[in-house]
Structure 1
Amino acid sequence: MFGGGIPFGHFPGSGRGGSMPAEDVDTTKLYETLGVDKSASKKDIRKAYMKLSKTHHPDKGGDEHKFKEISAAYEILSDDDKRAQYDKYGLEGVSGDDVGAAGGEDLFSMFFGGGRSRRSAGPRKGPSINHPLKVSLEDAYNGKTVKLAVTRKIIEGTPTECTACKGQRVIMEVRQIGPGMITQMQRHCDQCKGQGQQCTFKNERKVLEVHVDKGMLHEDKITFRGMADEVPNMEPGDINFIIQEKDHELFKRKGADLLVVKEISLNQALCGFTWKITHLDNRTLVIKSQPGEIIKPEMNTKEALPFVKVLPDEGMPSKGNPFVRGNLYVMFRVRFPEDNSLPENVIAQLRKLLPEPDVEEEYDPMEVEEVHLKEADLRSFGKGGAHRESMEAHDSDDDEGGARPVQCQQS
């Protein structure tokens, strides 16, 4: 599977093939919990759940354990894939899934009081395989279908019981550790690699169509159930393609919202600007400021926040509901003239045009001190003057090697 072998683990064997459910699997308990038939529709299941959850909710005096059973049963039976697994393999078929309603409680303990053996409930699920899938922001916006070829290992023929370990997966060894002293140790069977059964494999090449839905997020998972390598006595695991969203040169994404940073000159900030961009679906947008609108360096808030405007409904499609879109935020950075000084004629014109010009202070240059500012870095704030370390070192030198106090001599 993309170069991966079969990751054998410590899984109990029951002597049955991985594709055959146990004969004594219980596939009715969840339906009985909700009080519906196995042929019940999703609507009937939801209706039964809503009725029972109101009666047994702990906040209304109901039994908490019963409420957990009802919630877990509904979560499994309302999901088509989980329901199909349960109908075929019982609770064992869904025990590896994330059933949040169980609150972390073991499903077998919840419904059978821990008295039912997991071994007789059906085959466990084999390990899943995760593969990263790099997706551009354009693909996440528009959706995309990618065809990927994978190679999986499948069992050839019928597995047979390992002759070395007799299907126990481990071999017991007796070792002498001293005169008259022996110890018994167990190790994985090398012949069957700890599976308890022997079989041969062959490679099978599959071409999977991976659908990237509109609005999918970074780290979202696209699952192909039962498509991982086959393992004796286990249901094949899943192949998961994990979305890895690539950075975009213009847009930054957070949820369904997009952010762009626009640098404008002081002239554009005061007199207006026009900006043409290409959106993720190749539409051309021309963003213009309103007549007389001023773009400020910062928002008029207590905190020093960048100046931001928003274009509603021009963000990403929402996952699961692509017709609802997020917003497009534009964060402005006002670029002041690069020169450190302006010509006198330009200054005179700006004083006439711009509001709130400077008011000259009246003073006598012979009586006050005129000073001028220099460029600085705010990160140096607090580091001026003599450093504390050097002062303490100076004081230490005075204490150890400085001049001794003069003593007065009396006659």
Structure 2
Amino acid sequence: MGGGGGAHSPFDIFESFFGSGGFGGGGSSRGRRQRQGDDVVHSLKVSLEDLYNGTTKTLSLSRNALCSKCRGKGSKSGASGTCYGCHGTGMKVTTRQIGLGMFQQMQHICPDCRGSGEVISERDKCPHCRGNKVNKEKKVLEVHVEKGMRHEQKITFQGQADEAPDTVTGDIVFVLQLKEHPKFKRKVDDLEMEHTISLTEALCGFQFELTHLDGRHLLIKSNPGEVIKPGQCKAINDEGMPQHGRPFIKGQLYIRFKVEFPVHGALSPEQCGTIETILPSRSGKKLSDMEIDNCEETTLHDVNMEYEDRRRKMQQHREAYDEDDEDDDEPSMQRVQCAQQ
């Protein structure tokens, strides 16, 4: 009969699926599929100055590397035998009885070959790694922290983690951890800070020197005749954080002003009178003696609103708890009334 090639035997079909090693993965090590090695993750603490200016940190790490003498074989001859304890699977199964007619099977790494499925005779072990196939080595890495990088951003060194036979080496990953700065707070590509000025500076003007994250000295001053209100924010363009990948583009620097008022009793009646002649007149109308006599006099006192908020919340919880108790008592009261009827 005409046609394209002869019929394939069942063994050819299985070979196309499983390779020349046959069933059970018992073929040569060259046909064995490599597993993916684990990544090694390290935290790297950085300051806000590091992220603003960029920096390079040199770190020394210890890792497993394939033995250079035996090239990860573990033996002088390059050969190894099948572990009799696990029959080359690298795993052992143990069975234990947990009840009448009930058994439990547990799988664990073979202690004889430590999961490799292979054993090497003492005489054939590589003298350099003693049959372990890997040796400890020191590795020095230069971690380049680029301008504008962010908290928890990752810097990856591909294929630099622990090496192992028949394994694709994983990565070393550094995760940036930003330390808190005493002056600035980062918000995306912007910087925020607080600055306290006196009441005189808020009314009559101020100027101060600010040392930036790169060591530059900035002169910050108010506009002539400008009054700064407590909590007011001002912004300076292009003095925030540099954008990652575009370091010449920067965000804004926000300054929130806190106004420090004179302490109680710091102003004498004469000083108050002098200030009143300069400032705008009072907004409220002046009460007559008759209107004052018709009013009940009150006394203002200082209060901690955070404490008051906590007290009110506790009171609400207590009232809600009492209402739940009342609702639980109502059915029992109704039953008592029905019984009396």
TM-score by length of 1: 0.59
Partners of 1:372 and 1:135 in 2: how far apart?
53
Offset of 1:334 from its aligned partner? 1.1
Whether 1:142 and 2:53 are equivalent positions in the alignment is yes
Asked whether the 8 Å contact 1:13–1:195 carries over to 2, the reply is no
Q: SS at the partner of 2:49?
A: helix
Q: SS at the partner of 1:324?
A: strand
More displaced, 374-383 or 314-323? 374-383
Q: SS at the partner of 1:194?
A: coil
Partners of 2:309 and 2:94 in 1: how far apart?
72
**The one of 80, 105, 110 aligned to 1:189:** 110
Partners of 1:217 and 1:251 in 2: how far apart?
15
Equivalent residues in 2 for 1:283-298, closer than 5 Å: 283-297=216-230
What residue is the counterpart of 1:221 in the other structure? 154
Flag the 1:15–1:129 CA change in 2: closer, same or farther, 3 A. farther
Asked whether the 8 Å contact 1:197–1:232 carries over to 2, the reply is no
What residue is the counterpart of 1:380 in the other structure? 308
Deviations 1:57-111 (A, max 9, x none): xxxxxxxxxxxxxxxxxxxxxxxxxxxxxxxxxxxxxxxxxxxxxxxxxxxxxxx
What residue is the counterpart of 1:244 in the other structure? 177
Offset of 1:355 from its aligned partner? 0.9
More displaced, 170-179 or 314-323? 170-179
Whichever residue aligns with residue 143 of structure 2, its letter is V
What residue is the counterpart of 2:40 in the other structure? 129
Unaligned runs of 5+ in 2: 1-23, 75-79, 120-130, 327-341
Partners of 2:37 and 2:187 in 1: how far apart?
35
**Bigger RCO (CA 8 Å, 6+ sep):** 2
Displacement over 6 Å in runs of 4+: 12-17, 176-183, 381-384, 387-390
Equivalent residues in 2 for 1:279-318, closer than 5 Å: 279-297=212-230, 306-318=231-243
Asked whether the 8 Å contact 1:225–1:239 carries over to 2, the reply is yes
Offset of 1:140 from its aligned partner? 0.9
Indicate the percent of aligned positions where both proteins have the same amino acid. Answer: 42
Deviations 1:152-207 (A, max 9, x none): 11122215465132331212345677999877653321123334356512111111
What residue is the counterpart of 2:244 in the other structure? 319
What residue is the counterpart of 1:330 in the other structure? 255
Whether 1:362 and 2:288 are equivalent positions in the alignment is yes
Whichever residue aligns with residue 315 of structure 1, its letter is G
**The one of 260, 275, 278 aligned to 1:353:** 278
What residue is the counterpart of 1:303 in the other structure? none
Asked whether the 8 Å contact 1:269–1:296 carries over to 2, the reply is yes
Offset of 1:360 from its aligned partner? 2.1
Q: SS at the partner of 2:287?
A: coil
Equivalent residues in 2 for 1:226-237, closer than 5 Å: 226-237=159-170
Whether 1:266 and 2:187 are equivalent positions in the alignment is no
**The one of 256, 277, 289 aligned to 2:210:** 277
Q: SS at the partner of 1:323?
A: strand
Offset of 1:342 from its aligned partner? 2.1
Unaligned runs of 5+ in 1: 1-11, 23-119, 298-305, 397-411
Asked whether the 8 Å contact 1:13–1:233 carries over to 2, the reply is no
Offset of 1:338 from its aligned partner? 1.4
Partners of 1:331 and 1:14 in 2: how far apart?
71
Offset of 1:218 from its aligned partner? 0.8
What residue is the counterpart of 2:6 in the other structure? none
Q: SS at the partner of 1:131?
A: strand
Partners of 1:170 and 1:377 in 2: how far apart?
66
Flag the 1:16–1:131 CA change in 2: closer, same or farther, 3 A. farther
Flag the 1:190–1:175 CA change in 2: closer, same or farther, 3 A. same
Whichever residue aligns with residue 280 of structure 2, its letter is P
What residue is the counterpart of 1:371 in the other structure? 298
Whichever residue aligns with residue 52 of structure 2, its letter is Y
What residue is the counterpart of 2:339 in the other structure? none
Partners of 1:182 and 1:188 in 2: how far apart?
20
**Backbone CA RMSD of aligned residues:** 3.2
TM-score by length of 2: 0.70
Partners of 2:118 and 2:177 in 1: how far apart?
38
Offset of 1:232 from its aligned partner? 2.8
Flag the 1:180–1:218 CA change in 2: closer, same or farther, 3 A. closer
Asked whether the 8 Å contact 1:263–1:332 carries over to 2, the reply is yes
More displaced, 150-159 or 268-277? 150-159
Offset of 1:236 from its aligned partner? 1.1
Partners of 1:237 and 1:346 in 2: how far apart?
74
Partners of 2:43 and 2:158 in 1: how far apart?
17
Partners of 1:14 and 1:249 in 2: how far apart?
62
Deviations 1:121-169 (A, max 9, x none): x523211111111111111111111111111111222154651323312
